[in-house]
Structure 1
Amino acid sequence: MSQPAQVTAAEISRLAGVTRATVSNWRRRHPDFPAPSGGTEASPAYDLEAVRTWLAARGQLPASSPADDLRTALRTSGSTLGHRSRLLPLVVAMSRINDTERQKVAGLSDDRLSTWVDEATRSYADDIPGTGNLSRHAAVAGLVRTLVHSVAEEGATRTLEALVEGDVDDTKASSTYQTPAPVAELMADLVAAPGEPYPDTVFDPACGGGSLLLSAATRGARNLYGQDIVPAQAAQAAARLLVQAKATETQVRDGDSLRADAFPNLMAGAVLCAPPYGHRDWGHDDLAYDPRWMFGLPPRNESELAWLQHCLAHLAPGGSAVLLMPPAAAERSSGRRIRAELVRSGALRAVVALPAGVAQPLHIGLHLWLLEQPLPQAPLPQHILFLDTVPSDTSRTGNGTGKRPPSDWETLRNIVLATWHAFDRAPDSFDSVPGTARAVAVIDLLDEATDLTPTRHVRATPVSAKPDEVAEIAHELRNRLRRAASGLMTLSGGQSWPPIGADPVAWRTATVADLLRGDALQLLRAAPATRVSGPTIHDSLVSRTLTARDVVSRRPASGATKDEPSGEEITLQEGDVILPEMLPGGGTTRVADTNDAGKLLGRHLYLLRPDPARLDPWFLAGFLAAEDNLKAASSGTTIVRVDPRRLRVPLLPLAEQQRYGRAFRQLNALRAAADIANRLADETARTLATGLTGGALLPPETATSST
């Protein structure tokens, strides 16, 4: 036997068209108000029919609409459905037929309606995550008819909103909030300059109900990709886009975007995201060596910086991203190194401080971070815009009531857009707006704190660090530095490297040109692509491109071409040896591993593909990178260009090559470990110095005290 439908005080207020305060007054002043029949003491629930009877007797029950009838039917039969997402394909199917056909469907008998629903929803079920076939239970049949009637009378959009109302709650515990429509529209406006085509492909890796993607669709985006960890949220986003953005190609998936990326090869023209805040279980341990961390592994308490790098990893060169971030991400000591790399790389373009109350959580003034994926050959930006929209007489942490402070959103929106567009047109000659906006030189941001809080730069308000937090961060950094130093010692110690004899050995060598003629290896280069005018469409299956900067920096492939594919792209294979054409800072080579396999070869790189039966790749890479070898095969002074055909390689048996190859592989691991230890040493020293000079840490008891 089904349980009577129950409603909360909030639902009663919507049912009667009054405020929640009015409902509270009714409960206190009217003894005959229905007593709670469930729920908790803090959040009681009431019998729906008893409430409706009480409201009707006092003339407080407005005439119900089809959408109201749907809400009532959902409360009555929700336990039978199990999940409202199963009804979403039906709303989409109804939205694709005209008014006359909707009326005909609403008048079908139960059996014919059930058959029509099965046929009409089948093609949409795969587009909406987590949906399945509707049960043919009688209660469900009544709910389906109510929904069909609602779409026929009030339209698919209003019916959809009634269907998902209250299905997934925003909670402070999960730090997951829906992005309000005005904020979503502002974020969508920021990724395109006036008069320029809107990005064709837009991605939101934490799409929630789809408000950001929907805002992008209304501005011209045609390919929309979204993912959300909550299946019901992903289903709602997919349905909203299918109903309200019919002219787009939409793909929405459920799942953890950080741990299980549904679109690993997607390169979007724009990324819009309001990531979840403050999650410590985002995958720090599982994803420690993930290639997305171009600016460093985010600390456990910096999930927002993990999401930021995830968004950048999906951004095509020249594309823009806007993220809604908590203010702590701009100044926490634990994220300083990543923020510094972000600034240094040219990826960060602007940070905008919004007033408290414009979006959840209401007591915090959130920030908008504007990012860009620099083009490989473009000069890096020299300035970053900081814009503070918070009135100087308004508390930065809210007024303690959780209510939005008085503000003119339209004026605020116009200020943000006008200021950003003025800066974007001429960043190096932008005129500061006292107390509101200022362009800060990149070099001035790379200090001990790399604080990106707009107020600090616009109004010069100091931001103090908490001693306990600084001490905890310093302790973690010192532990990581110990482990890195231990690994470095292990790699540099071990067996001795004995002399070969009294005099150096003189090998018989062959040039790369000789090896090419003998088919011992292949020499490949990426063909130049043909540029096209107009907006670039980035296919979700396009692979990343290994750039010369990636090889020199020993980092994962990070590039993606903005050119039209020529059909002659070179795909890396495990064991390929990659050598930069230009060597500004000394020679380096790279042996492609399993992570590089499948990526594309970028320009200004040579690829040498050895025959594994005749040449060991690590042996080849080690001798090609030898300083004397490179000098003999290079030309130029300021820019050194290498002719790989002139490089020489010793002629040794394969077994002897492999012995040398193992040694070169060990040296490569030693260099990588040294890079990590160097970065950690720098970060540790900076953090400790900041703690000492900022009054957060005390010096050790003695100069020789143990760390």
Structure 2
Amino acid sequence: MSKSSAQVTAAEISRLAGVTRATVSNWRRRHPDFPTPAGGTETSPAYDLAEVRSWLAARGQLPEGSPADELRNFLREGTVPALRLLPLVSSLAKLDAQQLERLAAAPDLPRAFSGAVGEYLPSVPGEDPQDVASFPTRALQSVLECVAEESPAVAVDVLAEHLGEDLAAGAYSTPQPLADLMVALVLRTPSRVLDPACGAGGLLSAAARVGARNLYGQEVLVSQAALASVRAKMASVEADASVEVGDSLRADAFAGLKVDAVLCNPPYGVREWGHDELAYDPRWEYGLPPKSESELAWVQHCLAHLEPGGLAVVLMPPGTAERASGRRIRTELVRRGALRGVIALPPGAAPPLHIGLHLWLLASPDPAKPEPQPVLFVDASDSGRSGRSTGSRALDWPTLSEQVVDLWRQFSSGPESFEPQPGLARSQSVVDLLDQSVDLTPARHVRAAVATADPDRQDAVVRELRSGLGQASSALVELSGGAPWPPAGAGALTWRTATVADLLRGGAVSMRRASAARGVSDESEEEGNHEVLSLRDVRAGERASSSLRENPLTEHVQLQSGDVVIPETLNGEKAPTARVVDDGDAGVLLGRRLYLLRPDPERLDPWFLAGFLSAEENIYGATTGTSIVRLDVKRLRVPLLPLEQQRNYGKAFKHLHEMRAAARAAAQLADKTVRELAMGLTSGALLPPEAGPASS
């Protein structure tokens, strides 16, 4: 065997075959003809990809590969590095569907590529302009099929999996909902945006989507900088993105540049950030950051690039708001009016998921206002939560974002007249903040505010919540009862299964997807108000909350009763719950990043299909990616059962769906009831049970 042959691990074999890792382990033990290891280690062996594919195909265990899978297989061979292929994707992303179709049908693909995207590809960090003719035909074909049949974003994600550079310690990607929130806090469409620690380009892409035209980014890792450049240009064809490789603190690639918005998610807890060599740097206008406070170096770097009237939104760890080592710089930021607000986010908003991070809002001090204005504190650490989980999936991002942006907008329009909202938001004067510790933790200022309690109002709120909780609890108890769920026998049942790809070929089910339209929607007023079922709606189990005007689509796919909808991305979920469309959803349009499966009612029961598609062991074998986990729905497996048996299982899965919905409603009401009762007691509005009226 050649040393250059592609090799795969057991985990990769499980994804290739659409099975669990335990199944691959069983194959290795039980089948003497299973391929022998060709590399790796004793504890983590690697196998020749060609031999594995041949063995799986002989046993009928090799599902039809998606274009993304074929691109991964090509990358495993190592003939062309993933970094070289990135400019191909960005060039193809500019073509429409008809142009891509003509390109795929061309007999001489390299020549057709040169005619469609130009003889030379644009450069990206780490790669100079390349001649299209220098690429093997298979490389061009693999990328083209993935872009045309999946999407440019999927192709970039596949290439990102193979770039091979580890993230720096303390550096994390910015989830898209958080990136969108950070951009929205600018309160206007910025013309020039800088991200000095841009990573793979999440914040720059978010800025491009809202109309920012001049984007500047710097990133220390070459592969991440290349991804940022490509993703920013794909987010808007009109954006001019300049991404440089390097350490922004030690070697600022944009020294002297002034922008109207800086967005930054800097690395946390980095001690070797250049403290000694940068001791006399002019950026430390508010004080030399201690060696243990690299985050305060990033804050001042962002401020140094702001033009008057500009805003910096920086994602910060909560410790920076109160550590003693940073007190002097925090004092100067507050005293001189550079710090305008601090927003505490819920745990799970961004990695690390167990910590509630902060957003610092900063502006260049206005010389025309010698007296510093108040600082806004928002404690949204419990906002937007739809369950106990700390994952991003448990957050109601639209509600959270709308609440935070609205509070910031109110404060910005009149800091002195801002009305506090008990338990949520409060402005503090500079005099009140400059105490011994200069603690900028929002909870310390927001929750300590004294609010006048209204006993009658509190009593009415609690009575309504307790009544609703009683009804929800009764519904849950009723659903939890009923006939027992009997064991299957001495051993678990096993079935013959088919992949969704097999069902599609056999006509038992059809599949549809919708993609976002490029540019501004030209829908009429009536069409623009048409409801769209979004990814968030499916995850939250809610009715359609979006519209065609907010989310223009290239194709309008209307939902029908009995359709099954499942998310394309997991976003941290172990097993996303497939949704069966009912009469309340019928007529609504399918949103992007969702799969729609339309089963033949004479061959497949929709609830049976949705239940087995949502099984965790099924999902594990059909996902790819790390930070963004994508589901290849064609690799999901469904048991082959008679329709009558399917309907029996379908009734059970529908019952579980109703039980889950009732439990979610009861949990939310219980949490609200406990909070209001506790608030009533501590504010003096309510008395303990069986206690008589008391005097103050």
Q: Smaller-chain TM-score range?
A: 0.5 to 0.7
Matched, 1:425 2:426: no
**Higher Cα radius of gyration:** 1
Aligned counterpart for 2:143 among listed residues 147, 170, 186:
147
Q: Hey, what does 1:69 align to over in structure 2?
A: 70
8 Å Cα contact 1:354-1:365 kept in structure 2: yes
8 Å Cα contact 1:170-1:178 kept in structure 2: no
Work out the number of aligned pairs and report it: 444
AA matched with 2:163: D
AA matched with 2:352: P
Q: CA deviation at 1:70?
A: 0.8
User: Tell me, what secondary structure is at the counterpart of 2:122?
Assistant: helix
Separation in 1 of the partners of 2:217 and 2:347?
27
AA matched with 1:386: F
Separation in 1 of the partners of 2:180 and 2:164?
22
Is the deviation greater in 175-184 or in 23-32?
A: 23-32
8 Å Cα contact 1:90-1:120 kept in structure 2: no
AA matched with 1:4: S
8 Å Cα contact 1:319-1:372 kept in structure 2: yes
Q: CA deviation at 1:367?
A: 1.0
Q: Hey, what does 1:376 align to over in structure 2?
A: 367
Q: Hey, what does 1:332 align to over in structure 2?
A: 323
Task: Give the alignment's Cα RMSD to 1 decimal.
Answer: 3.4
Q: Hey, what does 2:464 align to over in structure 1?
A: none
Q: Hey, what does 1:646 align to over in structure 2?
A: none
Equivalent positions of 1:462-473 (< 5 A) are none
Q: Hey, what does 2:382 align to over in structure 1?
A: 391
Q: Hey, what does 1:178 align to over in structure 2?
A: 173
Deviation string, structure 1 residues 541-564 (Cα, Å, up to 9, x no partner): xxxxxxxxxxxxxxxxxxxxxxxx
TM-score (norm: length of structure 1):
0.57
Q: CA deviation at 1:47?
A: 4.0
AA matched with 2:274: G
Matched, 1:163 2:163: no
8 Å Cα contact 2:348-2:392 kept in structure 1: yes
Residues 26 and 375 (structure 1), Cα distance of their counterparts in 2 relative to 1, 3 Å cut: same
Q: Hey, what does 1:410 align to over in structure 2?
A: 398
AA matched with 1:440: Q
Q: Hey, what does 1:237 align to over in structure 2?
A: 228
Q: CA deviation at 1:294?
A: 0.7
AA matched with 1:279: V
8 Å Cα contact 2:82-2:162 kept in structure 1: no
Q: CA deviation at 1:110?
A: 6.4
8 Å Cα contact 2:310-2:363 kept in structure 1: yes
Separation in 1 of the partners of 2:302 and 2:345?
21
Separation in 2 of the partners of 1:201 and 1:290?
24
Aligned counterpart for 1:211 among listed residues 197, 202, 216:
202
Separation in 1 of the partners of 2:448 and 2:27?
53
Q: Hey, what does 1:456 align to over in structure 2?
A: 444
Q: CA deviation at 1:389?
A: 1.8
User: Tell me, what secondary structure is at the counterpart of 1:365?
Assistant: coil
Q: Hey, what does 1:527 align to over in structure 2?
A: none
8 Å Cα contact 2:86-2:230 kept in structure 1: yes
Is the deviation greater in 182-191 or in 366-375?
A: 366-375
Separation in 2 of the partners of 1:450 and 1:40?
54
Matched, 1:188 2:183: yes
Deviation string, structure 1 residues 225-263 (Cα, Å, up to 9, x no partner): 111111111111111122221111221111111111111
Is the deviation greater in 197-206 or in 54-63?
A: 54-63
Residues 133 and 414 (structure 1), Cα distance of their counterparts in 2 relative to 1, 3 Å cut: closer
Equivalent positions of 1:561-600 (< 5 A) are none
Q: Hey, what does 1:6 align to over in structure 2?
A: 7
Separation in 2 of the partners of 1:220 and 1:349?
25
User: Tell me, what secondary structure is at the counterpart of 2:194?
Assistant: strand
Residues 241 and 100 (structure 1), Cα distance of their counterparts in 2 relative to 1, 3 Å cut: same
Equivalent positions of 1:107-126 (< 5 A) are 107=105, 112-113=110-111, 116=114, 120=118, 122=120, 124-125=122-123
Residues 11 and 312 (structure 1), Cα distance of their counterparts in 2 relative to 1, 3 Å cut: farther
User: Tell me, what secondary structure is at the counterpart of 2:273?
Assistant: coil
Matched, 1:447 2:435: yes
8 Å Cα contact 1:225-1:252 kept in structure 2: yes
Deviation string, structure 1 residues 102-122 (Cα, Å, up to 9, x no partner): 344445566844983998263
Deviation string, structure 1 residues 631-671 (Cα, Å, up to 9, x no partner): xxxxxxxxxxxxxxxxxxxxxxxxxxxxxxxxxxxxxxxxx
Q: Hey, what does 1:682 align to over in structure 2?
A: none
* Structure 2 stretches lacking a partner, 5+ long: 450-696
Separation in 1 of the partners of 2:115 and 2:267?
36
Q: CA deviation at 1:188?
A: 0.7
Q: CA deviation at 1:436?
A: 2.0
Q: Hey, what does 2:25 align to over in structure 1?
A: 27
AA matched with 2:67: P
8 Å Cα contact 1:86-1:133 kept in structure 2: no
Matched, 1:130 2:126: yes
Q: Hey, what does 1:321 align to over in structure 2?
A: 312
Separation in 1 of the partners of 2:434 and 2:152?
52
Matched, 1:349 2:345: no
Separation in 1 of the partners of 2:354 and 2:36?
34
Residues 93 and 441 (structure 1), Cα distance of their counterparts in 2 relative to 1, 3 Å cut: same
Q: CA deviation at 1:456?
A: 1.8
Residues 324 and 10 (structure 1), Cα distance of their counterparts in 2 relative to 1, 3 Å cut: farther
Aligned counterpart for 1:95 among listed residues 93, 96, 119:
93
Residues 345 and 281 (structure 1), Cα distance of their counterparts in 2 relative to 1, 3 Å cut: same
Separation in 1 of the partners of 2:398 and 2:58?
43
**Identity across the alignment (%):** 52
Separation in 1 of the partners of 2:242 and 2:296?
25
Residues 262 and 117 (structure 1), Cα distance of their counterparts in 2 relative to 1, 3 Å cut: farther
Q: CA deviation at 1:434?
A: 2.1
Separation in 2 of the partners of 1:132 and 1:392?
46
Q: CA deviation at 1:354?
A: 1.4
Equivalent positions of 1:424-573 (< 5 A) are 424-460=412-448
Residues 63 and 317 (structure 1), Cα distance of their counterparts in 2 relative to 1, 3 Å cut: same
Matched, 1:250 2:229: no
Separation in 1 of the partners of 2:5 and 2:229?
32
Aligned counterpart for 1:86 among listed residues 77, 80, 84:
84
User: Tell me, what secondary structure is at the counterpart of 1:292?
Assistant: coil
Separation in 1 of the partners of 2:43 and 2:259?
46
Q: Hey, what does 1:574 align to over in structure 2?
A: none
Separation in 2 of the partners of 1:121 and 1:296?
51
Q: CA deviation at 1:63?
A: 2.4
8 Å Cα contact 1:226-1:251 kept in structure 2: yes
User: Tell me, what secondary structure is at the counterpart of 1:124?
Assistant: coil
AA matched with 1:163: L
8 Å Cα contact 1:129-1:252 kept in structure 2: yes
Q: Hey, what does 1:515 align to over in structure 2?
A: none
8 Å Cα contact 1:278-1:304 kept in structure 2: yes
Residues 16 and 322 (structure 1), Cα distance of their counterparts in 2 relative to 1, 3 Å cut: farther
Separation in 2 of the partners of 1:8 and 1:379?
64
Q: Hey, what does 2:600 align to over in structure 1?
A: none
Deviation string, structure 1 residues 103-144 (Cα, Å, up to 9, x no partner): 44445566844983998263611xx21113669999944223
Separation in 2 of the partners of 1:324 and 1:53?
49
Residues 144 and 264 (structure 1), Cα distance of their counterparts in 2 relative to 1, 3 Å cut: same
Matched, 1:285 2:273: no
